[in-house]
Structures are given as structure tokens and as C-alpha cells.
Amino acid sequence: MEYTNLLYEEDQRIAQITINRPDKLNALNHDTLVELKDAVLTANGSDTVDVIIITGSGEKAFVAGADIGELSAQDAVRGQRFALFGQDVFTTVEQSAKPVIAAVNGFALGGGCELALACHIRIAAENARFGQPEVNLGVIPGYGGTQRLARIVGQGRAAELILTGDMVDAKEAHRIGLANRLADKGEALNTAREMAGKIISKGQVAVRLSLEALRCVPQMGLREGLATEAALFGIACGTEDFKEGTAAFLDKRKPDFTGK
């Protein structure tokens, strides 16, 4: 698929997806969401990619939300479809078999915050601002914000953010567990690439099995989750990477993983 609203690059086993509508602060219109889903699926299908990074173009915004022009044209029936479509795209991000890191380089508001929440790890630049300002528009988060924000920062903090529409800065986002890590202004992408490099240096079967186990957390009870973990652990024990990783430890050398 040819992209007009995002940039897609593969380099050093990283797929970098840059939402590229800087004049609209990278707001997500329908076409951008279609492209984003395609880009995430493309990266998942690529043999030369191990980690995906999503960021926004420019230094001002990651993504300033759903496109309010398109949003304003919704009615009750189309509004539900609008939300379901965005949810489907962000679920594709969340269900990615390869790790997805959000390099939050500025405003992550509304759908932008929800996109960051669907990523597995969030790096926040010093100038990043997170928020769910939908109440200011007379609407509610519709791309998963009510569900994922509460799961990540807890019900009380999610309620405060969603009910007041207040933004939090990067430090506060880090304090409440919304951002995994802080970076200097302009450095979110580099920090995300560094982290991606570390993940890439590990056994990729183990990375993907770990992610699969983690993805079960919101879907399963503890008993079912533990059973899944044990089954995935068993699969990991059958891989060449496992043989290599344990042998390398015992031989006091660096492992040479092949992803098999």
C-alpha cells in the first residue's frame, strides 16, 4: 500500500512508522488509520523487522487526537462505527506479535494518547503532554482510552484524566506509570531506538513468546494466565535459541541467537 499520511522505514531490524500530518499535529483521520493498520501488519509480516516504533512527525506532536473535522460529522450510528474502526486499528497495534514502542515526541491527546496506550512501551520526550480531552468536545474516549488507560494507570487516575480532560506533562506521566521512560526534547526516537536495539539483541522467539504471555494479562484470570505462561515456557525450551542461550551462559560467552 502506498502511504500519504505516514512514513514507513525499515532499518537495522526496526520498522519506524511516523504519522506525518504535521500541519494538523498528526491528527488521525480515517485514511491515516487505514495506513497505520497496514503499516503495523506489514512490519509484522516483514522478515527484516524485529521491533516497531511509532512516532509523530515534527517536535510538537506525537498525535493530537482523532481528526476533529471528521469527528464533528458523526451521528449516533456512524459514531459507533467510527469508534469501532479506531479500536480495531489500535487492537492491531496492541496484538502485534513484535514489540511496539511509542516514541512520544509532543502532544499525545485523545486518540494520540490511546495510540500510545496500545503500544507495549512508551518513551516520553520532556515536552510530551498526555491527555484525554474528549469531555471538552462533549464526547468520550472512543479508541480504547477508557479501558486501556484504567488498566495502565489505575481506575482513579484514569477517572481524573478522563473526567477533567487535563493534560499531564512527561514527568507526571512517568510518575503515574503512563510513560515507561523519559527522554530529552527531540530524543524520544533515539531512546526508543536504543531500547529497540537492546530487545533485538535478545532471542527473538523468547521476545515474542514473552509478549504473547503479557498480552494475556488483561484477557485472562490468573489461573488461565499461568497455564498459558507454562505452555509458552515449554515452547521456548524447545527452541535453538534456548539451547544457545543456556550453553553460552555455561560457556561464559555471548549468545549468538538465530531466532529459531
Given 51, 109, 199, 207, the residue binding ligand COA (CB under 6 A): 109
**If you search the block for the grid coordinates 511509542, which residue do you land on?**
102
Amino acid at 51: V
| Active-site position among 70, 114, 126, 187 | 114
- The piece of 20-28, 204-212, 213-221, 240-248 that touches ligand COA (CB under 6 A) is 20-28
Looking at beta carbons only, is 99 or 111 nearer to ligand COA? 111
Laid out side by side, the sheet with 107-109 consists of 61-63, 107-109, 129-131, 167-169
For residues 58 and 24, the answer to whether their CB atoms sit within 8 Å is no
Given 8, 17, 19, 24, the residue binding ligand COA (CB under 6 A): 24
Secondary structure element (H or E) that encloses residue 244, with its range? helix 240-250
State the DSSP string of 42-110.
HHHH-TT-SEEEEEESSSSEEE--B-HHHHTT--HHHHHHHHHHHHHHHHHHHT-SS-EEEEE-SEEET
Given 66, 115, 170, 211, the residue binding ligand COA (CB under 6 A): 66
Given 17, 55, 62, 67, the residue binding ligand COA (CB under 6 A): 67
Query: Taking the complex as a whole, how short is the minimal distance between the CB of residue 175 and ligand COA, in angstroms?
Result: 22
| Terminal Cα-to-Cα distance of the chain (whole angstroms) | 30
Binding mask 193-232 for ligand COA (x = CB under 6 A): ----------------------------------------
Residues that bind ligand COA (CB under 6 A): 24-25, 27, 64-69, 71, 107, 109-111, 133-134, 137
The residues carrying an active-site annotation are 114, 134
